[in-house]
Amino acid sequence: MNRKNFGFRALELQMATVKEEELPLVLVHRPPNFHFPFKHLLQTHFRLLDPLDSDPPESTHSFFSRHAASVRVLLCVDPTPITRDLLSLLPFLQLIVGSSTGVDHIDLQECRRRIIAVTNAGKAFSPDVADLAVGLLIDVLRRVSAGFQYVRAGLWAQNGEFLLGFK
């Protein structure tokens, strides 16, 4: 085990012994229909406050107001709007973490005025998106998926070969 991994493992062990109420608090802002796939990973390192998990369900406005004094970090899942009005509910907010690549949904002018740091996924997925776009383009031009469906439907045996698109 190299020194870098050893340090990370020591941090993991330290975090494992921390009580839930001692974990850093993170407020979650997301649309109601959005599945939160990485929530279980975050819960091992942070105490998540999610208005959609409250019982009974609570409006975003009242939930944010109720927890305003303790919230320093806001996790924005999906491009959920973060407006000046929403930011006014969180007077001690210091950081907004966006899980998407853009920041168009965040009132950056208000964040600058209040000195709130904003981060996002940046170009993390750009190479994957480019690869997928090229793959889909080749699929359409060469009719790969159409040929696959042709074979799956049993038409090859009945009608003969399927002509692919041109290069």
Fold of 3-119: Rossmann fold (3.40.50)
Termini Cα distance of the chain: 50
CA distances from 60 to 25, 53, 70, 163 (A): 17, 11, 16, 55
> Model confidence over 106-159: pLDDT tens digits?
999 999 999 999 998 877 777 888 899 999 999 999 999 999 999 999 998 888
The mean pLDDT of 84-102, rounded to a whole number, is 90
Q: Domain residues of the chain, as ranges?
A: 3-119, 126-159
Q: Nearest-5° angle of CA 13, CA 17, CA 18?
A: 115
CA distances to 3, 19, 73 from 14, rounded to whole Å, are: 17, 11, 22
- Among the listed residues 67, 79, 70, 75, the one whose alpha carbon sits nearest the alpha carbon of residue 42: 75
Is residue 96 pLDDT above 90, yes or no?
yes
